[in-house]
Amino acid sequence: MTRKDWTYTFILFVIAFVSRIIPHYPNFTAIGAVAIAGGMAYRNWIPALLATVASMFVSDLLVNNLFYAEFYGSFVWFTPGAVLIYSSFILSVFIPRLLKNGNSTFKWLVSSIASTVLFFLITNFGVWYQTSLYPQTISGLLACYVAAIPFAINQLLGTLFYGALILLAFSYVDKRLVQTV
């Protein structure tokens, strides 16, 4: 990886980590934006996965074992459903790579929407399937999806907001690296 790649990876990690530990609306974080930005910024997908997964893992350790310690009762490496959550964001890294045509703004918007929908479908199916919160019927699945719509809206807004922040940070880094090289 180049110096620029490491700088981008660090920026993505910090933005995602901070967005998850500061008070925020449910699902209004930078994780989706980090996955998409990484998928767009790097030729190799490894740094994008590193930034996405590392920021989630480190912030999960902090959030689950400090802020929600009384909820879990003991140290937690991964919460129930973590596989689905992490998988959704890992898949989101590849979404912008599937879009062959269009400018970067178009790719960003389509990828943000697709990432949110992917996360919504996968994780809420998991909630329906793995818990007793909803009956194991089509009606129960639909009720689970309907109840999750406000969270999906927050996630899309968070992805778009933090995406703009990331694009500004990348622009700043590009200008600074050009000046220092």
Condensed to tens digits (0 to 9), the pLDDT of residues 80-122 reads: 889 999 999 999 999 988 887 767 788 889 999 999 999 999 9
H or E stretch covering 147: helix 138-180
Question: For the purposes of burial, counting CB atoms within 10 Å of the CB of 82, is it exposed (0-12), middle (13-18) or buried (19 or more)?
Answer: middle
Q: For 27-40, what is the mean pLDDT?
A: 92
Contacts (Cβ under 8 Å, ≥6 apart) of 118: 88, 91, 92, 95
Q: Is the pLDDT of residue 160 over 90?
A: yes
- Whole-model pTM: value is 0.84
Contacts (Cβ under 8 Å, ≥6 apart) of 150: 26
Q: Is the pLDDT of residue 181 over 50?
A: no
Q: Is the pLDDT of residue 180 over 70?
A: no
Contacts (Cβ under 8 Å, ≥6 apart) of 129: 136
% of residues, the chain, pLDDT over 70: 97
| 6-22 tens-digit pLDDT | 888 888 899 899 999 99
Residue 178: left (phi > 0), alpha (psi -120 to 50), or beta?
Answer: alpha
